[in-house]
């Protein structure tokens, strides 16, 4: 759970950072967003062995998988949320002399909070699932290994618990 929480936190941070960059520069979004969507379409079970080869069978791999699983849905939801400000609110900020950063801070961020909380609700189970998958494939400890151990001993109640 700790590694999943670390991965979740980093994934959410990077998604927010990249979303702010995408919101400030539409041209910056055109190149990386299709690549992000392509990477999101790769199944976790196919991505896990590659991450294990890159980062090894350590706990870092668990956190990286959690961050990757969180990054893509959070990125899409954050960009949508930051762009969901009403035109009237943006016009009022512009009339009062707000620059792009002030508009982002005082108008876009508050209007993106519903999307932010929706992405958190979506991303938490993904981070835990990604962490379990890597623990199952790479490490010989934690919950993922406990599930494999229970399957090998035919203890179905432990598997589902």
- List, for residues 99-142, the tens digit of each pLDDT value: 888 888 888 889 889 988 988 998 888 888 888 778 777 766 66
- pLDDT given at position 2: 81
Most confident of 27-31, 40-44, 105-109, 142-146: 105-109
Nearest residue to 17 via CA among 73, 71, 80, 63: 71
And the tokens for 46? 């196919």
Global confidence as pTM? 0.77
Comparing CA positions, the residue from 55, 50, 47, 60 lying closest to residue 6 is: 60
Helix (H, G, I), strand (E, B) or coil at 84: coil
Closest CA to 135 of 67, 70, 52: 52
* Structural domains in the chain (count): 1
Confidence band for 144, pLDDT divided at 50, 70 and 90: low
CATH number at residue 75: 1.10.3720.10
Domain of 69, in residue numbers: 2-160
> Could you give the CA distance from residue 42 to residue 46 in angstroms, rounded to a whole number?
7
């Amino acid at each position: 759970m700790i590694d999943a929480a670390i991965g979740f936190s980093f994934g959410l941070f990077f998604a927010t950072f990249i979303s702010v960059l995408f919101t400030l520069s539409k041209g910056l979004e055109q190149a990386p967003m299709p690549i992000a969507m392509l990477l999101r379409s790769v199944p976790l079970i196919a991505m896990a062995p590659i991450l294990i080869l890159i980062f090894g069978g350590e706990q870092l791999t668990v956190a990286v998988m959690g961050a990757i699983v969180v990054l893509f849905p959070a990125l899409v939801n954050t960009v949508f949320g930051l762009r969901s400000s009403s035109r009237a609110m943006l016009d009022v900020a512009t009339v009062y002399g707000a620059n792009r950063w002030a508009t982002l801070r005082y108008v876009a961020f508050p209007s993106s909070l519903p999307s932010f909380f929706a992405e958190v609700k979506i991303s938490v189970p993904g981070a835990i699932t990604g962490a379990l998958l890597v623990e199952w494939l790479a490490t010989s400890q934690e919950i993922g290994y406990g599930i494999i151990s229970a399957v090998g001993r035919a203890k179905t109640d432990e598997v589902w618990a």
